[in-house]
Structure 1
Amino acid sequence: MKVLVTGGSGFIASHCLKALLSHNHTVVTTVRSAEKGENILAAYPESFKGQLSYVVVPDIAQEGAFEQVVVSDPPFEAVLHTASPFHFKFQDPKELLDPAIHGTKGILRAIKDNAPSVKRVVITSSFAAITSPDVHPDVYDESQWNPVTYEEGIEDRAKTYRASKTLAERAAWSFMEEEKPGFSLVTLCPPYVFGPPIHAPKSQDALNTSNLHFLMLMHGGWKEKLPPTGTWLWVDVQDIALAHLRAMEVSEAGGKRFFITADHFEMKEVAEIAKKNFPEYANQLPAQLLSDKPDSLYGFDNSRSKEILQLEYLPLETSVVDTIKFLQHHGV
């Protein structure tokens, strides 16, 4: 199958590329610069030459950004849209909101108008599009939506990222309902995503947001006290990549939203795993590891991902150990 992957240098997307290539799919990925594209190609052995290529899309929010990109010979059969900004260093909330929303609508429009061969589109959404931070339900599943508005995303920087993911995913489902294109849509909603990157980051600033926690632990940032857990759910990046692959390949997945989460966790568990497997970090942690888990914590239902996508989730210890080993090996 020939597949287009947007944002190929991203943390999740780079694992998606690896999963697709290992399952013998031909992949074209979008990147923001030729330098990023060349770095991706250089990370794969010669045996993948001809199976992986890139195209530069400097700004996914630009009108018509994907119109030419989705046209291919031989034509694309599937698209994985992972490109969306995720960082907390923005000056203007619109830096996060507009690329997420306009980029999603733009690629769906481009596929409908220019790539009739595409039969499945998979979009990387987030638990941020499900969660209701003010009033949690007893159990989270795919049926729930974050009630955040665009205006709240602009006014409250704490809500900007959640608004970007929620409104982008809502825009995708609205497009499907109104336009009735010739392809089916799947959205995937992961919480905290842990696990080793595919590519060694050139600097600490280039590390994905979730894995900055491990970096802080290794460099003494947890010495005085553990950081707050915040979101009590997690998944390994290899599982979310596999979810993208299966969401693309499994016919029953079409038209569905998937909550991709392994289990509950808290930073205390991460610290305990690090201490057990890497004794050299014991003095980088508080003498007493305190839990910040509330007495009453929401549950989760990930049964749809297990039944339809056949996911068997990796344990937290594997993810933490693999990530720290990767960061040690690359001297980050």
Structure 2
Amino acid sequence: MTKVIVSGGTGFIAQHILNQLIKSNNNYNVVFTSRSKEKGDKVINLFEKPKNLSYEIVEDVAAPRAFDHVLQHHSDASVFLHTASPFHFKTTDPEILIKPAVEGTKNVFLAIEKYGKNIKKVVVTSSYASIARTDKKPTDIITEKDWNTQTTPEEIGNNPVFIYRASKSLAEQEAWSFIKNHQVNFKLSTINPVFVFGPQLFDSEVKSELNTSSEVINKIINLKPDDKIPPFKGGWIDVRDVAKAHLLAFEKNDAEGERIILYNGNFTDQTILDFINSKFPKLNLPKGDPGSDKKALESVPKVDDSKSRRILGFKYIDFDTSIDDSVKQILKAKGEL
């Protein structure tokens, strides 16, 4: 059995990755990292204790040589999926996001270099945030060749969104720089998704506040009839497609050395609201300005993800299905479905 290590295995995307790995016909033996025994045991129990799933504790990914013991204990592993990196817009302190993102990535590569002699493929969960540029015009086209270069303290200041974007860009740069400046025996791919929608893998994981991407939908569901609609917009992709892309990134040789953009269209809060109001009218949400999202999205630069789609070679889950599955799960958890 091919042994796969997944860092940060308790996260939203990571749980979907674990699910696809342990159920794959390729019979993967999966080891994930957890910040504590309590969290690790919880994931094992959620999956109903499959024989091909275990974990190692990594309390702090930014601590020096944080992943050494993981590779020492699993020197037979041939794939490493690095998903562990914070994602939120709740801090004005760059250190809180940038240090664990960059140092965590560096620690993974140092551990592989020293103890992971059998590692052949590494996939890093990066973000579209490391690609998108604020200086792009609506007529411009963004591809996997673009980089967010807004990473200096002067440029990001204490803006939470800029801080997050810098953390992803700097962490991904650390990964590509490492393989350029070291003699490594593995091939690297990065996964660069936009906002990730879709249901939590387990209904029990639905809380009053969800992970950052899912909270976009959750906040809309909790709006009062007279509330204003936030002017939020971005790109989206379903979490199940993101998980599938991680597997294909190490299974397909075409993905070696590539940045893979995961993008399935753009949205505004109004886009999501219009769908929910049409499908779940009894929720009595505000109407906003139905259809106004089309005008708002005219200012968003185009994304050319044709290369990524060609490499992956599968059809993405559509917007209606992704939002519908998310909303139904949230309503079910609230006892409203």
Structure 2 length-normalised TM: 0.92
Choose from 126, 143, 147 the match for 1:141.
143
1:95 aligned residue: 96
1:193 aligned residue: 196
Could you tell me how far 1:38 is from its partner in structure 2?
1.1
1:124 aligned residue: 125
Single out whichever of 252-261 and 132-141 deviates more from structure 2. 132-141
1:216 aligned residue: 219
2:276 is aligned with 1:269: no
Q: Distance in 2 between matches of 1:222 and 1:64?
A: 51
2:57 aligned residue: 56
2:179 aligned residue: 176
Q: Distance in 2 between matches of 1:74 and 1:145?
A: 34
Paired residue secondary structure (1:262): coil
Map residues 1-332 of structure 1 onto 2, 5 A cutoff. Answer: 1-23=2-24, 24-46=27-49, 48=50, 50-73=51-74, 75-90=76-91, 92-136=93-137, 138-151=140-153, 152-153=155-156, 155-199=158-202, 200-201=204-205, 203-205=207-209, 207-220=210-223, 223-231=226-234, 233-281=235-283, 283-286=284-287, 288-289=289-290, 290-291=292-293, 293-331=296-334
Could you tell me how far 1:73 is from its partner in structure 2?
4.7
Could you tell me how far 1:219 is from its partner in structure 2?
1.7
Could you tell me how far 1:288 is from its partner in structure 2?
3.6
Unaligned runs of 5+ in 2: none
Could you tell me how far 1:330 is from its partner in structure 2?
1.9
Paired residue secondary structure (2:212): coil
Amino acid at match of 1:94: E
> How many residue pairs align between the two structures?
327
Residue identity over aligned pairs, in percent, reads: 37
Q: Distance in 2 between matches of 1:222 and 1:66?
A: 49
Amino acid at match of 1:270: I
Could you tell me how far 1:331 is from its partner in structure 2?
2.1
Deviations 1:226-270 (A, max 9, x none): 222332x11000000000010011112111111111122232221
Contact 2:233 2:269 in 1 (8 A): no
Q: Distance in 2 between matches of 1:157 and 1:267?
A: 19
Could you tell me how far 1:155 is from its partner in structure 2?
4.5
Q: Distance in 2 between matches of 1:195 and 1:156?
A: 27
Could you tell me how far 1:211 is from its partner in structure 2?
1.2
Could you tell me how far 1:96 is from its partner in structure 2?
0.4
Paired residue secondary structure (1:4): strand
Could you tell me how far 1:156 is from its partner in structure 2?
3.8
Calculate the aligned-residue CA RMSD, in Å: 1.9
Contact 2:188 2:258 in 1 (8 A): yes
Deviations 1:161-183 (A, max 9, x none): 00000000001100010003100
Contact 2:92 2:159 in 1 (8 A): no
Contact 2:266 2:297 in 1 (8 A): no
Q: Distance in 1 between matches of 2:288 and 2:184?
A: 58
Could you tell me how far 1:223 is from its partner in structure 2?
4.3
Contact 1:153 1:164 in 2 (8 A): no
Could you tell me how far 1:299 is from its partner in structure 2?
1.2
Amino acid at match of 2:134: P
Tell me: CA distance 1:214–1:149, structure 2 relative to 1, closer, same or farther (3 Å): closer
Q: Structure 1 residue runs of 4+, over 4 Å off?
A: none
Q: Distance in 1 between matches of 2:226 and 2:14?
A: 33
Q: Distance in 2 between matches of 1:201 and 1:295?
A: 36
Structure 1 length-normalised TM: 0.93
Tell me: CA distance 1:52–1:120, structure 2 relative to 1, closer, same or farther (3 Å): same
Unaligned runs of 5+ in 1: none
Could you tell me how far 1:94 is from its partner in structure 2?
0.4
Tell me: CA distance 1:180–1:154, structure 2 relative to 1, closer, same or farther (3 Å): farther
